[in-house]
A and B are shown apart, each in its own frame.
Chain A
Amino acid sequence: MEAELEPRAGRLFSPAELVATRTRDRKVPQHSHGQKDFIPDSSEEQAERLHRCREEHWQLLAEERVERLGSLVKAEWKPREGIVELKSPAGSIQLFYRDLPLSIQEAYETLLSQGTVSLLQYQVFSHLKRLGYIVLRFCPSAVPSQYERQLNLDSYCKSSGKRHHKRKRSSSPWLQDKKPKASGNPPEGEGTPEKASGSCGGPSHPASGGSCLSQMSKESDPASGEGESAQVPTDAVQLSKPPSRSQAQAGDYGKAAGDSCSCTHLPRWDFTRIAFPNMASDCPHTFLPQPDERLLPENVAGREADATRWRKLVNQKREKLTRKEREQRERESRYKSSVNADREVRRCSNWQEYKELLKQRRQRRAGRRPSHLWDQPVTPLVKPDQVASAAAVLQQISVLQPSHILDGASRLQEDTEGMKIDFSVYQADAVANFKKNNPGKPYARMCVRRFDEQIPSLRAVKQLAYQSEDVPVVFALVDNGDIAFYSFKEFKLPVDIYN
């Protein structure tokens, strides 16, 4: 087979041609000169126009990329590590593999065939980059959830990740922009170690430092608190403000670090196995056993603790209200009453009992229903105490309930029919404030698919939306080189009631 195909080389410019390219035109003429014709009528004019369009087309295609040697940065392709290492940051690159320069064709064939980036993904990537967006690979574990963002956790994680710049990641190859583009690349092709810590290293790094902590407020279940393994690493008790109901979760970040970011969806904390002890004053248990070592980072040793001393310090500080707040409280006390002031509510010791109490109260109220309305086969749809406005009535009797894409999404299992989010796309303008270590919220997230594949089921769309939190997910469909972008948009059906 190989003997029949004689090796063929591409076009090589002579030195004279190379020098001549310095003065070539930089403008790109438009596609078709003038309006297109409707039907071919074998006229001279049409043939002439077609000929001109075609000549120009071939002339543009035949041009090659020629650059000053001084403005090129040498870049080495390292297949074993799956990265391209640049000798110096920024600039147009000349790609080398084992000391020989690679042509673009060879770059396509060798770099793309490794399996980490498919040709389709590359086509979408280059399309977006040419439009000026910043495109990064998507790493699910690095997405701060909305809750974490509320607590301002993500900025904390990112800043502590800065310490681990040169950390080499062997299991997750990072491929930079590897196509040598002639006119000036912006600094996307930067050294891989920095990128590795930037977009994916966020949550996994803090634990290896050992002293980083993150706080997660979680409703602790008082009933199951006694005697179970505490997740409070004893280093955590050095906090100046004693946690009243929040526990430190450094252990889980340790879990994430051990599993180096391999771009699979890491499970978040498994609350069925983690229990939180009750540290409130009504619970007599003050002895905390040693925490489970699997949940702690490597260089942190857990030990048992006696929390008696801490308990005495809890809730000591008297709340100081400003004058405005005091006045507001006074006003409100005239008509508002705290739920906890009710004796029956205080008697409930957990949520279940409280819900029972509420149910009983409702039923008692319901016992006062007029029989001519409620004992018939056809009963009213709404009760007087349930609705206070026309909009509420409409809500009660509506057949179609509005639903959000994320409804029920957290309960879905992991299987997404092979679909995953491939890229995060950021806008590169001054407003977006993109920084390598702190990219901020992306403009959209891309899922690259072939055009002739099945449309995603609602289940898959929900799962992708859940992975992407509040950033819209866009499907980039590639049909033999043509790319089209599709996404689902939220909208609300208009309601014909003035609320």
Chain B
Amino acid sequence: MIRIHVLEGAALVWSAEDAREIRERFRLVGTLVGALARKPRQNARLGLPLQLLPEEARLLAELGAAVLVRGTETQPPAEGEEPTQAAEVEAYQRELEESYQEQQRLAGAERGALLAQLAERIAQGRARRREQRGETPDTVEDSGLLDSPFVLPRSSMMVQLPTARQRPGRVEQVDWTSPSPDWPHAGRPAHEARYRVFRELWGRGYYLSGGSKFGGDFLVYPGDPLRFHAHYIALCCPPGAPLPLRALVAAARLGTGVKKTLLLCSPGTGGALAFTSLQWSGLQ
């Protein structure tokens, strides 16, 4: 079950495995909004968490593939809550110590292997130096280097700064059908209209992503956005709302300028959705 954490109306996914499943199995793209662990100081490629559109999160919840949760440990606890922490702190310290011991062992083994590899060269170098200094060769001393116990300084220990929550925390499920402070989208007419369009287009096999960069509601791709350009800019028009010609021309021009087709989506007659595409053609 994929877990989607909601925070102030944003749907975040913190697990890389879940993100993979969402994309590969469910054809939902989302946006990465965190810093990439390998190279945080750039914006070309971002990392976890993955932020999903409200429509994407709702689709996953409706399909039963995901559950919306909210962390409950957000308020500073009362004074009496300290004792439960002590056990966790102890466990953490123990883990840290075990990791340290293991890392020391591994580092020692690595160093030992390296020294064994270069043992001959070290011995030769030693012998040469002793000859220069005029001493007698002493074979016992040679192996001394390998016997001294290796101590890894504590500060050289590697520590993980985890992205996703490590200690299981208390979470509670959020009902996506009713509005709440963390999930205010339920019931809003704009969201409902967008969701209908989203569901329909997704059902036809397209990949969808946010379209604000191109002045629309969604961008419609024929395949994974990693490898394909978008074909359509989908604009959701609420039924009965006036659509001034100026706005229509502006949207169509924008679409043409970026080589995409404008797709006007609106609930049509009989409950089905009607799609109208606009392409700028010449006079012929």
| Interface set of A (CB-CB < 8 Å, partner B) | 1-2, 4-13, 15-16, 18-19, 21-22, 24-28, 31-32, 36-40, 46, 49-50, 53-54, 57-58, 60-72, 79-80, 94, 98-101, 103-106, 108-110, 112-113, 118-120, 123, 126-127, 130-132, 179-183, 451-452, 477, 479-482, 484
Decide if A113 touches B163 in the complex (CB within 8 Å). no
Across-interface contacts of A94 in B (CB, < 8 A): 159, 161
Q: Cβ of B71 < 8 Å from any Cβ of A?
A: yes
Which 8 residue pairs spanning A and B have beta carbons closest together?
A: A7-B168, A70-B155, A10-B164, A481-B31, A15-B102, A479-B212, A481-B51, A79-B76
B260 to chain A, nearest CB (A): 12
Inter-chain CA distance A24–B39, complex, in Å, is 12
Decide if A105 touches B164 in the complex (CB within 8 Å). yes
B106 to chain A, nearest CB (A): 5
Decide if A130 touches B226 in the complex (CB within 8 Å). no
Decide if A180 touches B227 in the complex (CB within 8 Å). no
Across-interface contacts of B88 in A (CB, < 8 A): 100
Choose among B49, B76, B153 the residue that contacts A108 (Cβ–Cβ < 8 A): B49
Name A65's closest neighbour in chain B (CB-CB). Answer: B161
Decide if B212 touches A484 in the complex (CB within 8 Å). yes
Decide if A65 touches B163 in the complex (CB within 8 Å). yes
Which parts of B192-234 form the interface with A (CB within 8 Å)?
210, 212-213, 222-224, 226-229
Decide if A112 touches B42 in the complex (CB within 8 Å). no
B30 to chain A, nearest CB (A): 8
Across-interface contacts of B223 in A (CB, < 8 A): 37, 39-40, 46, 50
- 27 A-B contacts, Cβ less than 8 Å apart? A5-B3, A5-B67, A5-B69, A5-B173, A10-B14, A10-B162, A15-B106, A18-B158, A19-B107, A22-B158, A24-B38, A50-B223, A58-B20, A60-B36, A65-B162, A66-B159, A67-B159, A70-B154, A103-B161, A103-B166, A104-B161, A119-B7, A181-B40, A182-B40, A183-B41, A451-B212, A481-B32
Decide if B163 touches A10 in the complex (CB within 8 Å). yes
Q: Cβ of B24 < 8 Å from any Cβ of A?
A: yes
Decide if B226 touches A126 in the complex (CB within 8 Å). no
Choose among B20, B23, B161, B210 the residue that contacts A482 (Cβ–Cβ < 8 A): B210
Decide if B162 touches A11 in the complex (CB within 8 Å). yes
Across-interface contacts of B99 in A (CB, < 8 A): 15, 18
Name B223's closest neighbour in chain A (CB-CB). Answer: A40
Decide if B161 touches A61 in the complex (CB within 8 Å). no
Across-interface contacts of A79 in B (CB, < 8 A): 76
Count of interface residues, chain B, beta-carbon cutoff 8 Å = 86
Which parts of B43-81 form the interface with A (CB within 8 Å)?
43-45, 47-49, 51-54, 67, 69, 71, 73-74, 76
B132 to chain A, nearest CB (A): 36
Q: Cβ of B284 < 8 Å from any Cβ of A?
A: no
Decide if B89 touches A99 in the complex (CB within 8 Å). yes
Interface of B is mostly: mixed
Decide if A106 touches B89 in the complex (CB within 8 Å). no
Contacts A79-B76, A80-B76, A132-B41 given; indicate if A61 touches B212 (C-beta within 8 A).
no
Across-interface contacts of A31 in B (CB, < 8 A): 44-45, 226
- Known A-B contacts: A9-B164, A69-B157. Give 6 more (CB < 8 A): A8-B3, A9-B168, A32-B227, A39-B222, A46-B223, A54-B24
Inter-chain CA distance A38–B227, complex, in Å, is 9
Decide if A101 touches B40 in the complex (CB within 8 Å). no
Decide if A68 touches B157 in the complex (CB within 8 Å). yes
Across-interface contacts of B47 in A (CB, < 8 A): 60-61
Name B172's closest neighbour in chain A (CB-CB). Answer: A1
Name A78's closest neighbour in chain B (CB-CB). Answer: B76
Decide if B43 touches A54 in the complex (CB within 8 Å). no
Contacts A2-B170, A8-B168, A50-B223 given; indicate if A480 touches B31 (C-beta within 8 A).
yes
